[in-house]
């Protein structure tokens, strides 16, 4: 029995953040990267679950209860800043009658 895990390796997230892109584009890219990170975490947890007969429901609880919060905590500051910048740069819309 080999005690070393045989995890598949993941490619880096595509591209680099363009710091000169408009904030709404950077925010969209951040949100896409968060979805990708969550999917990768799910793959790892599913591999562990398969190996040890852990239910899919428990994997979903781990993702929904912990991974979402962990990722949100990780990007909270930059996400808030980008949201504020995007809101500031958004053109004003006329008030509806």
Q: Domain count of the chain? A: 1
pLDDT of residue 20: 83
Average pLDDT over residues 23-43: 94
pLDDT digits (tens, 9 = 90+) for 51-72: 999 999 999 999 998 999 999 9
pLDDT of residue 1: 53
In a domain, 66, yes or no: yes
pLDDT at 17 over 60: yes
**Predicted model pTM:** 0.76
pLDDT of residue 93: 56
Domain that holds residue 64: 23-88
In a domain, 10, yes or no: no
Q: Scan for tokens 């951040």, then name that residue.
A: 30
């Amino acid at each position: 029995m080999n005690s070393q895990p045989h995890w598949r390796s993941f490619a880096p997230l595509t591209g680099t953040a363009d710091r000169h892109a408009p904030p709404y584009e950077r925010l969209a890219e951040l949100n896409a990267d968060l979805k990708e990170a969550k999917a990768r975490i799910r793959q790892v947890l599913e591999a562990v679950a398969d190996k040890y007969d852990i239910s899919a429901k428990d994997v979903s609880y781990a993702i929904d209860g912990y991974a979402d919060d962990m990722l949100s905590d990780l990007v909270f500051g930059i996400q808030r800043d980008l949201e504020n910048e995007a809101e500031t740069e958004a053109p004003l819309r006329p008030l509806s009658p």
